[in-house]
Amino acid sequence: MTKPFVAILMGSDSDLETMQTTVETLDKFHIAREVRVLSAHRTPDATHAYVKDADARGCAVFVAAAGMAAHLAGTVAALTHKPVIGVPMASGPLQGQDALLSTVQMPGGIPVACVAIGKAGAMNAAYLAAQILALGDQELAQWLADERRANASEILAEDKARREKLGSVEAGSTGHGTKHGK
């Protein structure tokens, strides 16, 4: 059986700067991936052919990134039953507001899991794909859980250091809450 992989499609090579985060995050978890520049509008036939081929070769999750009138994720979703994650790109004069609505507002029955505009969305697309793959991969599931725990410990350590640095002020000692400042 071939290893399941994630197919990353982007509408333009100019999207790669943002989508590099998706690639790097998948690589960090040793998840097999393919990256293609394919557009719903500019290369419709090649997009159709690639999605059908990737689906048949064992693609488990599609990630589709596009900006402006972003129809790539919806187009991919129309061609496969595999999960499709859409990433709105912050390109064009509306900086992704248009892409967000174009990606998220799918008609019932053809879902696209739309993440946030830009870099946070690009990273979360990889995490969401990893979580989907982890449903059938115990080692990956453990890796994701360990990373969450490590992140939480880091933040709690920062919180502790911050509290130690700033100290605490007893309620009432600042004069707040007293009538007319008396």
Q: Which of 89, 114, 125, 129 binds ligand RP5 (CB under 6 A)?
A: 89
Residue 63 binds ligand RP5 (CB under 6 A) = no
Helix residue spans in 80-137 (DSSP H): 97-104, 119-134
- Scanning 10-18, 44-52, 75-83, 139-147 for contacts with ligand RP5 by CB under 6 A, the matching segment is 10-18
Q: Which of 22, 25, 39, 103 binds ligand RP5 (CB under 6 A)?
A: 39
Distance CA 99, CA 162 (A): 39
Residue 88 binds ligand RP5 (CB under 6 A) = no
- Scanning 60-68, 127-135, 138-146, 167-175 for contacts with ligand RP5 by CB under 6 A, the matching segment is 60-68
List all residues 6 or more positions away from 79 whose beta carbon is below 8 Å from its beta carbon: 48, 51, 52, 55
Residue 20 binds ligand RP5 (CB under 6 A) = no
Contact 71, 40 (CB under 8 A): yes
List all residues 6 or more positions away from 84 whose beta carbon is below 8 Å from its beta carbon: 61, 62, 63, 64, 73, 76, 77, 111, 112, 113
Residue 91 binds ligand RP5 (CB under 6 A) = yes
Distance CA 165, CA 182 (A): 30
- 69 vs 141, beta carbon nearer ligand RP5: 69
Interface residues with ligand RP5 (CB under 6 A) are: 11-12, 14-15, 39, 66-68, 89, 91
